[in-house]
Amino acid sequence: MLSAFGVHVTIYQIALVGTVLLAALAQALMRIGARGRKRVLHSFLNPWTITAQACFGIDMVMMIFAMRAIPFRTVMAVSSLVYIATPLAARFIAKDPLTARMMVGACIIVVGIVTFFL
């Protein structure tokens, strides 16, 4: 267990947050890899897409690790943060636009997560 500023964090919790960030990164990389490809095969076999697939593989291992110690309902609630992290990653990594509709959707997701934990 790690401790900083009076907050105790386990390696399992770090892994769970890491899965959200890694999945968002993988989605942004997948977007870059699919962009501007004339042939479908090139969309699957380029460095961006292959890196994204590796991120998804690592993400899966981290999720399984986190599920060993964190209740399933908590894992699923925290995992929904990927729907907020993905548009942000797409904006800053893949240079995709971030629309008002996306931001409203993100706020709705946050309200749902907060409600879930009440």
Residue 48 has a pLDDT of: 94
**79-117 pLDDT per residue, tens:** 999 999 999 999 999 999 999 999 999 999 989 888 887
Mean pLDDT of the chain: 90
* Segment (H or E) for 3: strand 2-4
Phi and psi at 71, nearest 5°, equal -55, 145
Residue 4 has a pLDDT of: 57
**42-87 pLDDT per residue, tens:** 888 899 999 999 999 999 999 999 999 999 989 998 999 999 999 9
Residue 3 has a pLDDT of: 61
Distance CA 47, CA 16 (A): 26
Would you say 13 and 70 are in contact if contact means Cβ atoms under 8 Å apart?
A: yes
Distance CA 106, CA 100 (A): 10
Instruction: Give the start-to-end residue ranges of the domains of the chain.
Output: 2-117
